[in-house]
Chain A
Amino acid sequence: MDRAEVEKRVKKVVSQVLNVPESNIKPEHKFTADLGAASVQSLELVAGFEEEFDIEVDEDEALSVQSVGDAVEFFVERLV
């Protein structure tokens, strides 16, 4: 899996969980400020990424991920 593939799949999860069209999702977007996520949805996003990439991540580490780009970096480090 390469970075482009990770980014594509991160956007897919964000789109599904936050109900935002994939074409509107940019790496610089923050989940709460730009994409309308309620703060309580953070772990729902984490679970979405876990399901998509079929891995388990440390909850406290994952909750530091605040933007689409952060999420891409987080999973590139672990998967690429």
Chain B
Amino acid sequence: MSLTDQFIERAKKSPKRIVLPEGDDERMVQAASRLAAQGIARPILIGDADAIAQLAAGAPLDGVTIVNPSSCPNMDRYVAAYAKTRGVAEGIAKRLVKRPLYFAGMMAAEGDADAMVAGVAKATAQVISAAALTVGFAEGISQASSFFLMVLPGTPERVLVFADSAVVVDPTARELAEIAVATAGNAQKLLGMEPRVAMLSFSTKGSAQHPRVDKVREATEIAKQMAPQFAIDGEFQVDSAIVERVAKKKCPDSAVGGTANVLIFPDLDSGNMGYKLTQYLGGAQAIGPVMQGFAKPVNDLSRGASVDDIIAVAAIASLQCG
């Protein structure tokens, strides 16, 4: 069974309320129908009921909740909550919250949904902005980031988690530490693994001196303080992180070196190249980018996402709920 199929089966054990703001997109409607019919999630579609029924084209909508912002009795509560949290006038809040992405975000923020999945029509930046302003960030986290699950070929399959390979361009030490901690938490929730987090660099434990190495070292210390429950260490070159033979020589005292399963890249250049090299030269399957850092899971889709893609991402969001 593929990793994605495993996620779907696990999501069925505790179906979450996943709000899908793009109810005017046929793929979202079809995905909602299947999520409900197969018991993977309890989908909430934002939009007009008649228009959604047309897009369903006969697909069953039993178990799908449809919410139209213009007639929703919770609208005033969402507007008041947004205005209070953000410190803006209610008139401005109302203009925003009536937009589907913001309305869906407020459903999650106010506890009426467990997670949000969007992005078939809206750009990633718009999804991130809406989530940041409505759902907000998890405790100790100041920004959105992302991770990839890299399924390496071979038997049995081995899965590594890479971050951040898609969102944060040039993180500070603090931001890098946040990425490490958020990724470790998601690795645990999604894969059931004990995360062993390697903070990557071109230096292993002081083998090189450079301000960029200092940044990774500082991030390692911050991350350890933020999440003492996780095994986090650095700085490591990639081989010191994942090859035990090399780790025995370069960092024999590290509990993470040689056996890391979560790799934190120092910036987006290395993170993006790292995942693509692993995918295209190493033959790995890349699942992601999966968004993280929000107070509740918010996942972005590519505009070319298929119904199957939406279902897989909804299952991942369900598992991110913990």
Binding site for B on A (CB under 8 A): 16-17, 38-44, 47-48, 50-51, 59, 63
Contacts and interface: CB of A to CB of B under 8 A. Distances in A.
B132 A44 contact: no
Interface in B67-112: 86, 88-89, 91-93, 95-96, 99, 102
B129 A42 contact: yes
A41 B88 CA distance: 11
A43 B130 contact: yes
B152 interface: no
Contact of B133 (A44, A51, A59, A63): A44
> Looking at chain A's contact residues, is the secondary structure mostly helix, strand, loop, or mixed?
helix
A17 B88 CA distance: 7
Nearest to B86: A44
Given A16-B88, A43-B99, A47-B96, 16 more contacts: A17-B88, A17-B92, A39-B125, A39-B129, A40-B128, A40-B129, A40-B133, A41-B133, A42-B129, A43-B126, A44-B86, A44-B88, A44-B92, A44-B133, A47-B92, A59-B126
User: Interface size class for chain B?
Assistant: 10 to 19
Contacts of B89: 16, 51
Contacts of A40: 128-129, 132-133
B129 A43 contact: yes
Contacts of A42: 129
Contacts, number: 41
B129 A51 contact: no
B95 A51 contact: yes
Contact of B92 (A38, A39, A48, A63): A48
Given A40-B128, A40-B129, A50 B88 contact: no
B199 to A, nearest CB: 26
Contacts of B132: 38, 40
B95 A47 contact: yes
B130 A51 contact: no
Contacts of A50: 95
A48 B88 CA distance: 9
A47 B126 CA distance: 14
B184 to A, nearest CB: 25
A39 B133 CA distance: 11
Contacts of A63: 126
A71 to B, nearest CB: 15
18 contacts: A17-B92, A40-B129, A41-B129, A41-B133, A42-B129, A43-B126, A43-B129, A43-B130, A43-B133, A44-B92, A47-B93, A47-B95, A47-B96, A48-B92, A51-B91, A51-B92, A51-B95, A63-B126
